[in-house]
Structure 1
Amino acid sequence: MKLSPVVLENRFVRLEPFTAGLEGEVRAALDCDPEAWNGMVSAAYGEHFDLWWAAALKATGARLAFAVRRLSDGAVVGTTSLYEIKPEHRRCEVGSTFYRPDVRGGPVNPACKRLLLGHTFEAGAVRVEILTDALNAASAAAIRKLGARDEGVLKKHKITWTGRVRDTAQFAVLDDDWPEVRRRLDERLAAFA
């Protein structure tokens, strides 16, 4: 499995690998909704952005970070990543995802998941994990809606940037699941056309 930092695009979004030239647009997209960051391991809004951005640019091999550009108006509306990339195990995680509140619930998230999952399985992945704070019911519901396997809760799994010890809800899409998950995503996206 070899994942490359390539542009991924469908009719709703373009996922652009992080480059220095995207910094201002990504900063503007993430500088909102401080409470949504509370369940995250790291924060990227306001004064937290610079350290987060520097770490994301330095993360080579184990993480591919993308700016999420909505194609209808060209605006960067969030970020998402492939990380914990383990080629020797043909697995990775999709996460470190944040979208502006005004795009939540529309086609952006399923369009991004369709691109990222397609990219990973085409590269030879056998497992893609999606994790969320166990307290984030909306995120868990969105992951279940994808058709991902609910693998339970990892107790005291991570510590958020606020210092809270977090339980993590773990989900996965296996290569065997991908045809059905892809079909469901394609149907959802067709409804937005």
Structure 2
Amino acid sequence: MILAVEPLENRFVRLEPLAAALEDEVRAALDCDPDAWDIMVAAGYGPHFDGWWRSALRAMEQGTRIAWAVRRLSDGAIVGTTSLYEIRPDYRRCEIGSTFYRPEARGGPVNPSCKRLLLAHAFDAGAVRVEIVTDAINPGSQAAIRKLGARDEGVLRKHKITFKGRIRDTAQFAILDDDWPEVRARLDARLAAFG
């Protein structure tokens, strides 16, 4: 499994690998909604952005993460970020995560578009397993992950510590290569409904 660091695009979004030229646009996109960041492991808004940015670029250099800026094609605005991370070529697995969208980009085609691109990128590269995890206290995120067709694999207790110091339980989900055709069809149908 070799995951290329490259732009990904469909009708609704263009995912652009993080690079210096995008820093100001990404900063502006993430510098909002502090309450939504409260349950995240790492924060990327306000005073936390510089550390978040350096960490993302360092992980990209190490080959353990590909972080993308999410550009909404309807207006050209960067509306968030998402990543493939915990990349383990030896096990042919990775995770989708470190996802944040501006409030006005939530609930429409942006998230399913991003997930469709990321999952295709991973499975086309030979992944056999793509994991998606979220905070166990975030039922909205869990519902969105289930809606994708990911399978619930339980809760990892005391799995991570948020940037605010809360010890977090993590709800774990996965999509296997065997699941991908059905998940892909479901995502394609959802995206077609947006016209």
TM-score with structure 1 length normalisation? 0.99
Instruction: Spell out, residue by residue over 1:98-132, the C-alpha distance to the aligned partner (whole angstroms, 9 max, x if none).
Output: 00011111000000000000000000000000000
Matches within 5 A, 1:4-19: 4-19=4-19
Amino acid at match of 2:117: L
How many residue pairs end up in the alignment? Answer: 193
Amino acid at match of 2:138: N
- Which of 74, 84, 90 is 1:88 aligned to? 90
Q: Secondary structure at the match of 2:38?
A: helix
Aligned to 1:112: 114
Alpha-carbon distance in structure 2 between the residues aligned to 1:153 and 1:35: 23
Aligned to 2:42: 42
Aligned to 2:158: 156
Question: What displacement does 1:40 show?
Answer: 1.1
Amino acid at match of 1:169: A
Unaligned runs of 5+ in 2: none
> Percent identity, aligned pairs only?
76
Amino acid at match of 1:131: V
Question: What displacement does 1:4 show?
Answer: 1.1
Aligned to 1:100: 102
Could you list the structure 1 runs, at least 4 aligned residues long, displaced by more than 4 angstroms after superposition. none
Alpha-carbon distance in structure 2 between the residues aligned to 1:160 and 1:147: 27
Amino acid at match of 1:158: K
Question: What displacement does 1:18 show?
Answer: 0.3
Alpha-carbon distance in structure 1 between the residues aligned to 2:49 and 2:5: 22
Amino acid at match of 2:112: P
Q: Secondary structure at the match of 1:185?
A: helix
- Which of 162, 179, 182 is 1:180 aligned to? 182
Amino acid at match of 1:47: P
- Give the aligned CA root-mean-square deviation in angstroms: 0.5
Q: Secondary structure at the match of 1:102?
A: helix
Alpha-carbon distance in structure 2 between the residues aligned to 1:3 and 1:109: 20
Aligned to 2:58: 58
Aligned to 1:69: 71
